[in-house]
């Protein structure tokens, strides 16, 4: 498997040269921006989307707050699981980085001596994005777009073949979707327990106490009126 994509006549390598060739024609400052975005920026942006979505969920509260927060908790966990799954895959395939097998590439990041397939960055970003999509479609679509752009940048930087990135997308998606039911079954009871906690309940629902106080009312979210208060209102109505 070590010889995968070593031939310069296959579409994978041709696309690598086409995309990486853009880096040769770009200004130096632009390459530095792409390097930062590809290494840190897009992953950080997707994490911010997850946090933004969590903040909105906890502010709204409601009966579904615990399950929604559980779904968001799965996003970083899915990314971690996907990277762990990738460890034996990399060791089995043993594909060298493209710049070790092909000359003339513009490599924006030096010191990449580990194996190339599957891309950890692509795996991380797509696992986060797909898990976020399961929790919230609007935020998830934005995250998936960022993940796809991140995969393009990894090829642009000369550190991955296109199929490295596609493999990372597939792995991240598979882990996020296939293990989601198990994750929700384990995480939802945990978030419900946290929601009931007087000290940590705000992590799940900013309206946790108000919601708990109103659960016995006829209309959810309304307060129960005391007997004296209700009688007073009847007297005023009379």
Q: What is the pLDDT of residues 181-225, one digit of tens each?
A: 999 999 999 988 888 888 888 888 776 544 444 333 333 343 444
Pair of tokens at residue 131: 């898990």
Report the C-alpha gap between 129 and 68 in whole angstroms: 15
Q: What is the mean pLDDT of residues 52-57?
A: 90
Q: What does the angle CA 11 – CA 14 – CA 19 come to, to the nearest 5 degrees? A: 120
Percent of all residues in the chain with a pLDDT value above 70, rounded to a whole number: 83
pTM, full prediction? 0.79
pLDDT band at 120 (very low <50, low <70, confident <90, very high): very high
**Cα gap 120→86, rounded to integer Å:** 7
Angle (nearest 5°) at CA 35 between 32 and 37: 110
Tell me the average pLDDT across 56-68: 84
Task: Count the Cβ atoms, other than its own, within 10 Å of residue 2.
Answer: 10
> Shortest CA distance to 79 belongs to which of 126, 118, 44?
126
Whether residue 229 has pLDDT greater than 60? no
Cβ contacts of residue 94 below 8 Å, gap of 6+?
Answer: 1, 2, 115
Category of 95 on φ-ψ map: left (φ > 0), alpha (ψ -120 to 50) or beta: beta
Q: What is the pLDDT of residue 155?
A: 93
Tokens of 237: 């109505």
Q: Which two tokens stand for residue 199?
A: 């000290």
Angle CA 171–76–163, to nearest 5? 25
């Amino acid at each position: 498997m070590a010889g995968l994509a070593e031939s310069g006549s296959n579409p994978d390598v041709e696309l690598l040269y086409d995309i990486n060739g853009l880096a040769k024609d770009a200004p130096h400052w632009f390459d530095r921006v792409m390097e930062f975005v590809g290494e840190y920026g897009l992953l950080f942006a997707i994490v911010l989307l997850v946090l933004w979505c969590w903040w909105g969920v906890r502010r709204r509260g409601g009966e579904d707050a615990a399950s929604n927060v559980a779904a968001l908790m799965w996003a970083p966990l899915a990314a971690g699981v996907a990277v762990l799954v990738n460890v034996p895959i990399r060791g089995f395939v043993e594909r060298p980085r493209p710049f070790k097998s092909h000359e003339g590439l513009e490599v924006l990041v030096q010191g990449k001596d580990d194996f190339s397939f599957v891309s950890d960055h692509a795996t991380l970003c797509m696992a986060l994005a797909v898990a976020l999509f399961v929790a919230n479609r609007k935020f998830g679509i934005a995250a998936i777009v960022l993940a796809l752009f991140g995969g393009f940048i990894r090829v642009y930087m000369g550190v991955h073949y296109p199929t490295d990135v596609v493999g990372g997308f597939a792995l991240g998606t598979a882990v996020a979707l296939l293990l989601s039911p198990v994750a929700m079954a384990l995480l939802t009871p945990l978030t419900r327990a946290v929601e009931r906690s007087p000290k940590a309940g705000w992590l799940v629902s900013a309206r946790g106490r108000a919601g708990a106080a109103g659960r016995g009312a006829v209309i959810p979210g309304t307060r129960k009126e005391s007997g004296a208060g209700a009688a007073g209102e009847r007297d005023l109505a009379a």
